Amino acid sequence: MRRYGGTMLDQILAESQSLGKYDVGETIEGLAVKLGRKPSEILKLNSNENFFVPLDFLRETLREVVEEVDPRIYPRDETRDLRDALSQYVGVPAEEIVVGTGSDQLIDLVSKMFLRSGDEALSVDPTFSIYERCVRIQGGLYKSIPLREDFSLDAAKMLSSVTPRTRLIFLCSPNNPTANQFTRKDIQILAEEFDGLIAVDEAYVDFSDGSVVDLVEDYQNIAVFRTFSKVFGLAGLRVGCAIASSELAKAMNERFQMPYSVTLIGLKTALKLLEKTETIRGATEDVKAERSRLIEKLTKMKGAKAFDSKTNFVLFQVERSSDEVYEELLRKGVIVRNIGRVLQFENCLRVTVAPPPMTKRFLDTLGEVLD
């Protein structure tokens, strides 16, 4: 029985119902229980994780870290050390770098900095749902501008949607779920015509044709976000960074970021991986090669069509209902992401690019479902 409470709590709980939930999709353990199978028999390809970075390599790196750290002590110098290492890796001054708990936490941070109740943020449609979530939590208005039919950015339409209350533009480039990269020119046009912040999420940039991080030097209203979850294979440790003008980065670091925002284990592991980039580069090239093969195989498959990709996932369309295909794949122990309609394209799904044995099982199973 409820013993105490109040209208304020009730109001907050009622208002929270209007916020969207982030759906992580089916999990390995959850599906294994449903199917009565072992977790090792489930093929998980729905979250754009990087299975090309060798697990033994990551575990050995973690063992090195565990031997070195004292978990009783708050991380201090390690944050500075990671910013210094990222400065060398990304090619920007360390004072322009903010370290956070994955790029999502830093995207939430700039939303808190720039938005007040009633302020607006723009992004494209379709794109990563976290942007809308962060904006609405701040009481802001989120407006999405449809991509063109070829998935390119309509910069002119986006600028025409700016109002005096628009303070943020979010761009995921390469974009999720369309997997294409927006042009440097379009981002420059936005930066020159919009006086708010342009937050460019480059979570997948290492699998693409190049970054716009150098534009931070020319445009104070551009901030670029990176993550260790994708290219470095550290999705489970939650480490990311933002690159912004020294003034904005200083404000983020000193005034808005929570102290000790990243775990000591996460900081030290990220540092060690930045010393082992040869393995990471090799894994990245493997992703690109397998991605090309996966797109080719999907395009040749009866009842399917793949879109081009600059990420570690592939968006593809099926002739049947994507809901039905998704459910049939689940029953066979294969998890992908059911996207549904993407602009004018119906029945789309998204699949992680995975090493050849995993890709083969996915393609064989999809072939059975579509046959």
Domain boundaries, the chain: 22-51+278-370, 55-275
Residues with Cβ < 8 Å from 318, sequence gap 6 or more? 303, 304, 305, 325, 347, 348, 349, 370
Pairing of strands 120-125, 166-172: parallel
Please tell me the predicted confidence (pLDDT) of residue 4. 54
Please tell me the predicted confidence (pLDDT) of residue 16. 85
Quick one: fold of 55-275? Aspartate Aminotransferase; domain 2 (3.40.640)
Q: What residues of the chain score a pLDDT lower than 50?
A: 1
Q: Classify the C-alpha dihedral 200-203-205-206 as positive or negative.
A: positive
Please tell me the predicted confidence (pLDDT) of residue 3. 56
User: Which CATH superfamily hosts domain 22-51+278-370?
Assistant: Aspartate Aminotransferase, domain 1 (3.90.1150.10)
Q: How far is CA 35 from CA 32, 330, 366, in A?
A: 5, 9, 18
Please tell me the predicted confidence (pLDDT) of residue 23. 80
Indicate the pTM of the whole model.
0.95
Please tell me the predicted confidence (pLDDT) of residue 10. 86
Residues with Cβ < 8 Å from 151, sequence gap 6 or more? 175, 178, 180, 307, 343
Residue 243 and residue 297: Cα distance in Å, rounded?
37
Please tell me the predicted confidence (pLDDT) of residue 15. 83
